[in-house]
Amino acid sequence: MKQTSFFHKTLLLVAMTGWFITSSAQQYEKDHHRVYYGEDLVEYADVRTFVDLGCGYAKDKNNVYMYGRILENVDPSTFRLKERHTWRNTDKDKDENTHHKRYYKTKWNVYYGTKKLDATASSFKELGGGYAKDSFTVFYYGEKVEGASASSFKYTGDGYAEDSFDAYYRGKKLK
């Protein structure tokens, strides 16, 4: 009987590991009358209009869901995910988990991840590099940038930003 080479054993181990990770990852599934996230029933989900948006998000005609739970005060008619290539945080010194968070807005509210921001949705816009603003407030990865003037604030690249009075690096005012 021929012995299996080290290469073939390693290749088999890698393939089995990839299959296990993929098969054990939670995802949305539908049957004729219900929606599940992993093994958990997604209560109140409308099967006919339910759409899996990816990365744990989904929506139907009534609600938006994250990891199988309803996101309160989120309008499903206006909720959209950005393209996946814009989700990644390129700021290497930030927490590893922040690349899963992002800004999004509904008709009335603005969120960073699941955190509702004190921001006006109608004037809110992302500037890049984790910065965003509305008419009155500037944010860096969902946190207020203290002392920043929103009316003149702009992102200049590589973590730097400025307003008419000061310069900022990664959300902190430079001296």
Report the C-alpha gap between 129 and 64 in whole angstroms. Answer: 26
pLDDT at res. 118 = 92
Is pTM, for the whole model, over 0.85? no
Give the full edge-to-edge strand order of the sheet including 110-112: 103-105, 110-112, 115-117
Q: What is the pLDDT of residue 32?
A: 80
CB 115 within 8 A of CB 142: yes
Determine the pLDDT at residue 34.
Answer: 92
Tens digit of pLDDT at every position of the chain (175 positions): 455 566 555 555 555 554 444 444 568 888 888 999 988 899 899 999 998 888 888 999 999 998 999 998 888 888 887 654 444 444 433 444 444 578 888 888 888 887 889 999 999 999 999 999 999 999 999 999 999 999 999 999 989 999 999 999 999 999 8
